[in-house]
Amino acid sequence: MSQYDFDLFVIGAGSGGVRASRIAAGHGARVGICEQSRVGGTCVIRGCVPKKLLVYASQFSEAFADAEGYGWQVGECKFSWTDLIAAKDQEIDRLNKIYINLLEYAGVELHMGRGRLIDSHTVEVNDQRFTAEKILIAVGGRPWVPELPGSDLAITSDEAFHLESLPQRVLLVGAGYIAVEFAGIFNGLGSEVTLAYRRDLILRGFDDDIRNAVGAGMEGRGINIRYRSEPNKIEQVGECYQVTFTDGDTLEYDCVMFATGRAPYIQDLGLDKAGVDLVDDYRIKVDDYSRTNIESVFAVGDVTDRIALTPVALMEGHCFADTQFGDIDRPVEHANTPAAVFSQPPVGTVGLTEREAIEQDIDVKIFKSSFTPMKYTLAGREEKGVMKLVVDAATDRVLGVHVAGLDAPEIMQGFAVAVRAGLTKADFDRTIGIHPSSAEELVTLRQPVI
């Protein structure tokens, strides 16, 4: 008989935590899990899934506008924010129940409440204590808002999914994937959108050609991007919000949304009681097996010092469970992790950017194409898509693939396999393209631009 209540107790029932608990239970472990909010975590409840639904909704306005070029006469169109949010909520409720059922069917014992470490083998949930041979922290992150006068008047992505009405004038602060995605959402649904960013180019960390393409596409859709500018102060004036910017301008908006990053949700988690080490005082330090410095405590997902993406958390949780309870040696491989931004135009990317390759002193060849997608020709749109390959000149290996334009995320999933497999530019060249498609550009690029 084990001296512990559980073989594994998981704090946080988001993507990583649910996956880890189910796989561990499948290996025969006795598993408990707790969740403070709703089962499913950020991605399902207030992140990837509802955001993608809103992206779909926002794209209809562009489709209606382009329809005339293809012979359609579209009549008067009306949009209902309340109907959209109600439909979104219904879908999220459905998914939440599915996740609860997945835990139940796997034999995982669910406890609703905020979990905190009492020591390296004990978790407290709602004044009830559970002991476990191993503890997995998978609490994810929360939006981070800078401290400035009036910042409490603004919303974050968490609140954006529950607004009572669609704001007419929206200010988005930030320029990462959340900011540019919501800029496209609000703009497509009819809001007047401004995006303020303290630097000089959106989507920091992505390839520069992709960043420029997305910026041009957003501005072409009527989004006002204020570079080298951010709020200094926010004041409520009647039903509006008056924002004073660092460049001296003062403007009014109906909604101010901060999309300035996310921080691990480690507050009151009891990490100090268990002696868990942090990186930069706010991320849990782990190795390739998701182990912390404490033998019995592990961590996966956005709370760690690794890549903050839902599929990464899923993989980390799965690898952890297989290694610890399935006698399978599965370290997590983070190299060449593909990613997408559901901006308008969207982005798909995998591998090294041109800048990263150069910084690593790799002699590279760059292959690039910029063109108007076929879908836009009859619609009369002039937006350019960008396809780019970063190739090691010495080995011919494709180190990075970067796409901005229609269907970029769908295109990138397949090419991510090619990059992880270490395929060469010659392998790409030997592949017959699918015509007519945008994706064929990636196997028909012949002359390097660098």
Concatenated DSSP letters for 43-102?
Answer: HHHHSHHHHHHHHHHHHHHHHHHHHGGGT---------HHHHHHHHHHHHHHHHHHHHHH
Asked if 45 and 92 count as a contact pair (C-beta separation under 8 A), the reply is yes
Strands of the 169-173 sheet, one edge to the other: 224-227, 192-197, 169-173, 255-258
Strand boundaries in 268-384, DSSP class E: 278-279, 283-284, 297-299, 339-341, 347-351, 364-371
Asked if 277 and 297 count as a contact pair (C-beta separation under 8 A), the reply is no
CB atoms within 10 A of CB 50: 22
150 SS3 class: coil
Instruction: Indicate which residues carry an active-site annotation.
Output: 435
Tell me whether residue 440 is exposed, middle or buried, using C-beta atoms within 10 angstroms of its C-beta: 0 to 12, 13 to 18, 19 or more: middle
Between CA 217 and CA 184 the distance in angstroms is 10
Rounded alpha-carbon distances, angstroms, from residue 32 to 29, 156, 182? 10, 31, 36
CA 338 to centroid of chain Cα atoms: 11
CB within 8 A of 248, min separation 6: which ones? none
Task: Find the DSSP H helices in 112-238.
Answer: 157-160, 177-189, 208-220
Concatenated DSSP letters for 2-58?
Answer: -SSSEEEEEE--SHHHHHHHHHHHHTT--EEEEESS-TTHHHHHHSHHHHHHHHHHH
